[in-house]
Chains A and B, each alone.
Chain A
């Protein structure tokens, strides 16, 4: 490797972008978007919207023991949420502080039952613990509505079976059935004392908007896109353009060795992508630059995207093919991740850099890194090594032509 050759090739890449300007313009737009995100910050508390990254797609109902109550709940999942509510038994039911890792986009409701015979007070207890995303306690509202309704139904049915006169079930079709029942009870008690409490009518209307802060999600998206744009779009398309025009051949016939030509591209594009991603992240939250996790995440995701970009660059023959290859790859992976997410398919998503990348970068930008994210970082690093190895192997097999 000769430094003056690599320097010449790197300077050439930079000058080509200076001459074409499209890549630089898009980079500046990304930075401008990050500046806008930073300038129009609504405040730290609102910025903590973890639900912005995907929302709560799955709710785990974790129980300490399989009881008729759990079975009732499982059998009466609402059709619309049937795939999203996943029942699982706690691995360590006796330890209320046991660590359970919840991937981004999931939440949980824990149920712990104590029977009367086991209770020191002699009364059976049902402990419900709702685990919602930080800063978004309403994220589980839909799941909670179902839970309270079915708990009420199950308990009332149990009491009826035991011979208690608990009356009819309220109209569960009403969203405010719990409120209506409480008001009815008050009216009944007041009527017993000869006082009439007015009837209560409650209606709800959505305004069509969402109380959701997208800042950290958008910042994560910008950082991921910066890396993707330079490594999976610019690198293959410009590389294939050089091949298509024969300029790559001209360089290959010069004293520059193939290793030096590849090294220059390896140096320029990831460096450009990392610089852009760092700028965006620093504009959004400067403190993130002091986070080791953020740097490691950036390197892992950048390495993975570089491997993907180089693989496309080696396989595609023309600029158009490289562009389409990048787009097809992105669409395919996005579709697969979405299908896996909707159907709770395990393992497969872990094989995509695009699965780990946004999660670990978002955790780094949001300052909410957990052991789960370190595992994800490890996965991203492994995938980066795999992609880079595949790209190197393909390049050796297929060469310049």
Chain B
């Protein structure tokens, strides 16, 4: 559905995206992860036609984003990281305005407002909305024309747990209906919870690409922490034969007060892959 081949985007001499190859399948919820300045937002800006690639090709639904932009435009909905509503309009009027541009019936505004649980605030001016409400209104706007592709830039930032759950549910429903969702986020739990696949980018390059579970299994350290009755703490590496043997000896000797396997930690995986920790 979305293919990035050798994508490079330079801001002067700085390479924001440096040879990114990515193939996002139809009907999957894809998470784009990376530290600040990794090139996630630039990649999204290329996908929404707001930044021309310096090199490489990007196709969406088989259309080239540079040469066939007009054909791509109706295919996607976009939720920016920064809210951009008409502050003086009500939530409903904001949606009706964009709905008219998309040529969807007026009733559709009420449907999406209900979907994001903003029906009660629909007739209040947006300037009175909280950050979370504004974020949900952005999602409602992106859903107006039931797009085949959804690009979301940190869609759950500033949302409470319940609202984040609502967003997750909507995204899963869209994927179930056959839409493709690409989202950037800093929330590791969110990635683990809802993403089918995740791509980790760092310094403009793709450093990992797989399902969250597979990434964890490959990259998380498999260790056991043991506390002896006298308070001594020991760590055994399950990937080492010798360490496993030592653990067996300690356990069979009965010298164990507590024993705990380390949980799969996606956060640690991310930090390890991006080279920002555990070096």
Contacts and interface: CB of A to CB of B under 8 A. Distances in A.
Interface of A: 4-5, 8-9, 12, 15-16, 19-20, 245-247, 249-251, 253-257, 400-401
B114 to A, nearest CB: 22
B85 A253 contact: no
A246 B84 contact: yes
A255 B145 CA distance: 11
A226 B100 CA distance: 31
Interface stretch (B22-30, B72-80, B209-217, B238-246): B72-80
Interface stretch (B86-94, B177-185, B189-197): B86-94
Contacts of A251: 101
B98 A250 contact: yes
A256 B101 contact: yes
B102 A254 contact: yes
Interface string B20-62: 0000000000000000000000000000111000000000000
Contact of B80 (A8, A12, A246): A246
Contact of B102 (A12, A255, A400, A401): A255
Contacts of A401: 50
Contacts of B84: 245-247, 249-250
Contacts of A247: 84-86
Contacts of B262: none
Contacts of B80: 246, 249-250
Given A4-B103, A251-B101, A254-B101, A16 B48 contact: no
B89 A254 contact: no
A254 B142 CA distance: 10
Contacts of A255: 73-74, 101-103
Contact of A19 (B82, B89, B102): B89
Interface of B: 48-50, 70, 73-74, 78, 80, 82-89, 93, 97-98, 100-103, 125, 141
Nearest to A8: B100
Given A16-B89, A20-B88, 16 more contacts: A4-B100, A4-B103, A12-B97, A16-B86, A19-B88, A245-B84, A246-B80, A247-B86, A250-B84, A250-B141, A254-B98, A254-B101, A254-B102, A255-B102, A256-B101, A401-B50
Contacts of A246: 80, 82-84
Contacts of B49: 253
B73 A253 contact: yes
A12 B125 CA distance: 15
Nearest to B102: A255
A14 to B, nearest CB: 12
A8 to B, nearest CB: 4
B97 A8 contact: yes
8 contacts: A4-B100, A4-B103, A9-B101, A249-B84, A250-B141, A254-B101, A254-B102, A255-B102
A8 B70 CA distance: 20
A245 B73 CA distance: 21
Contact of A249 (B50, B85, B86, B100): B50
Contacts of B70: 257
B93 A15 contact: yes
Contacts of A8: 97, 100-101
Contacts of A4: 100, 103
Contacts of A253: 48-49, 73, 78
B155 to A, nearest CB: 15
B82 to A, nearest CB: 6
A256 B98 CA distance: 10
A149 to B, nearest CB: 66
A400 B49 CA distance: 12
A19 B78 CA distance: 26
Contact of A16 (B88, B102, B141): B88
A9 B98 CA distance: 10
A254 to B, nearest CB: 4
A16 B125 CA distance: 12
A330 to B, nearest CB: 27
Nearest to B127: A19
B26 to A, nearest CB: 21
Nearest to A400: B50
A302 B67 CA distance: 37
A12 B88 CA distance: 11
B101 A5 contact: yes
A247 B141 CA distance: 12
Most central of B88, B93, B101 by chain A CB within 10 Å: B101
Nearest to B144: A254
A12 B102 CA distance: 15
A250 B74 CA distance: 13
Contacts of B103: 4, 255
Contacts of A257: 70
A247 B48 CA distance: 15
A15 B88 CA distance: 9
A257 B49 CA distance: 13
A13 to B, nearest CB: 11
Most central of A249, A254, A257 by chain B CB within 10 Å: A254
The 7 A-B residue pairs whose C-beta atoms are closest, nearest first, are: A246-B84, A19-B88, A254-B101, A8-B100, A247-B84, A250-B84, A256-B101
B181 to A, nearest CB: 17
A374 B82 CA distance: 52
Contacts of B87: 245
B106 to A, nearest CB: 12
Contacts of B85: 245, 247
A67 B70 CA distance: 77
Nearest to A257: B70
B85 to A, nearest CB: 7
B151 to A, nearest CB: 10
